[in-house]
């Protein structure tokens, strides 16, 4: 073998490096054009304040008692759902409709939303475990009440009725619902109920599954998929962030009653939360919370659902 001359390999590496840098620049330019418009969403300054019920006491609830001794509530939320529960990576603050519900519930339980809540981001797959192990006091995060979950955790609510719908590009004219998706690509989260529903009820649609809806939305903006589907609350959150490029279409084709997850045996806490939900719906706090979060998508506030007393019996 010959001894290599000192320079040429470096030159090749430099050229490769330049090509790579150019490719990266192109990539980010494409992002700027389509993927990441100026951030919109709930503005921290405009969020409503909730009156704290300082005289509240619930000694019959073990969860409430230990939270009182601790001096704060530990609340489970989502961190990746704009409009519902989203964590700002720069400031670490959580915003969204679910977060507002969590705050008003804390206020009704006698805890100051500003100082006495510790948020814990818990992904869907870990919700039941977190409640069973007492890692969180209650969970507010697009948590659909269903039979399987009722065996594992307790529920208060429902505080909102969501439904599965489609998120499409603004210029889309033909797609109105899942029946129009034959041969088209539709994206949702791996293993989620919305994905399973599309696969079983609309097998002619081509299902694509990623870990997060953010990747689905990115693919939608880049024409890799034709629609994103899940609960309309999550879709409205994305539409509210980028109203110039995205819209939610069609009628809801499922019914998802959202509840507040509580430890299964703590009926007293679930009942107290039920009362708090009803009170907040009556005094307008519920509607105010909707308007500063999901309402930004342009969809007017629906009528709040009635809490289901059968859940806490």
Decide if residue 209 touches other proteins (CB under 8 A).
Answer: yes
Pick from 88, 193, 254, 278 the residue near other proteins by CB under 8 A.
193
Decide if residue 66 touches other proteins (CB under 8 A).
Answer: no
Decide if residue 148 touches other proteins (CB under 8 A).
Answer: yes
Decide if residue 16 touches other proteins (CB under 8 A).
Answer: yes
CB of 119 to other proteins, least distance (A): 22
**Segment contacting other proteins (CB under 8 A): 120-128, 263-271, 277-285, 300-308?**
120-128
Taking a C-beta distance cutoff of 8 angstroms, is the pair 164, 171 a contact? no
**Segment contacting other proteins (CB under 8 A): 68-76, 113-121, 207-215, 258-266?**
207-215
Pick from 19, 22, 51, 152 the residue near other proteins by CB under 8 A.
152
Q: Which of 172, 178, 170, 131 has the alpha carbon at shortest distance from 150?
A: 131
Decide if residue 133 touches other proteins (CB under 8 A).
Answer: no
Taking a C-beta distance cutoff of 8 angstroms, is the pair 147, 189 a contact? no
Decide if residue 156 touches other proteins (CB under 8 A).
Answer: no
- For residues 116 and 70, what is the distance between their CA atoms, to the nearest angstrom? 10
Pick from 30, 51, 182, 301 the residue near other proteins by CB under 8 A.
30
Decide if residue 15 touches other proteins (CB under 8 A).
Answer: no
The site for other proteins, by CB under 8 A, has a size of 38
What DSSP character marks residue 199?
H
Instruction: Classify burial at 73, counting beta carbons within 10 Å of its beta carbon; exposed 0-12, middle 13-18, buried 19 or more.
Output: buried
Q: In 10 A of CB 193, how many CB atoms? A: 17
Decide if residue 36 touches other proteins (CB under 8 A).
Answer: no
Task: Enumerate residues 6+ apart whose C-beta is below 8 A from 150.
Answer: 311
Decide if residue 301 touches other proteins (CB under 8 A).
Answer: no
Both tokens of 51, joined, read: 């009156």
Beta-strand ranges (E) seen in 36-98 are 73-77, 80-81, 85-87, 94-95
CB of 146 to other proteins, least distance (A): 8
- For residues 176 and 260, what is the distance between their CA atoms, to the nearest angstrom? 31
Decide if residue 19 touches other proteins (CB under 8 A).
Answer: no
Decide if residue 245 touches other proteins (CB under 8 A).
Answer: no
Decide if residue 278 touches other proteins (CB under 8 A).
Answer: no
Helices (H), 115-192: 127-132, 147-150
Decide if residue 200 touches other proteins (CB under 8 A).
Answer: no
Both tokens of 75, joined, read: 């609340």
Dihedrals φ, ψ of 290, to 5°? Answer: -65, -45
> Which residues in this chain contact other proteins in the complex, by CB under 8 A?
1-2, 4-5, 8-9, 12-13, 16, 26-27, 30, 124-126, 128-129, 146-149, 151-152, 189-193, 196, 208-211, 215, 218-219, 222, 224
């Amino acid at each position: 073998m010959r001894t290599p001359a000192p320079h040429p390999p470096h030159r090749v590496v430099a050229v490769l490096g330049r090509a790579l840098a150019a490719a990266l620049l192109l990539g980010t330019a494409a992002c700027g054009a389509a993927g990441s418009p100026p951030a919109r969403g709930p503005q921290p300054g405009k969020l409503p304040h909730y009156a704290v019920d300082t005289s509240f006491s619930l000694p019959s609830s073990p969860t409430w008692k230990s939270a009182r001794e601790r001096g704060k509530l530990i609340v489970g939320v989502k961190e990746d759902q704009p409009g519902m529960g989203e964590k700002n990576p720069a400031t670490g603050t959580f915003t969204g409709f679910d977060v507002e519900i969590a705050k008003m519930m804390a206020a009704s339980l006698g805890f100051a939303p500003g100082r006495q809540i510790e948020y814990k981001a818990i992904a869907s797959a870990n919700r039941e475990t977190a409640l069973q192990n007492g890692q969180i006091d209650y969970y507010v995060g697009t948590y659909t009440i269903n039979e399987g979950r009722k065996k594992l955790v307790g529920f208060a609510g429902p505080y909102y009725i969501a439904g599965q719908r489609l998120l499409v590009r603004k210029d889309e004219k033909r797609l109105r619902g899942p029946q129009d998706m034959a041969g088209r690509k539709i994206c949702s989260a791996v293993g989620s109920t919305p994905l399973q529903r599309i696969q079983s009820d609309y097998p002619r649609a081509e299902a694509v599954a990623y870990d997060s809806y953010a990747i689905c939305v990115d693919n939608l903006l880049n024409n890799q998929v034709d629609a994103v589907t899940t609960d309309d609350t999550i879709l409205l959150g994305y539409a509210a962030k980028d109203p110039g490029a995205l819209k939610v279409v069609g009628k809801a084709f499922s019914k998802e009653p959202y509840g507040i997850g509580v430890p299964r045996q703590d009926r007293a806490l679930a009942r107290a939360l039920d009362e708090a939900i009803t009170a907040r719906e009556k005094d307008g706090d519920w509607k105010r919370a909707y308007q500063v979060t999901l309402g930004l998508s342009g969809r007017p506030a629906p009528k709040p659902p009635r809490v289901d007393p059968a859940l806490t019996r």
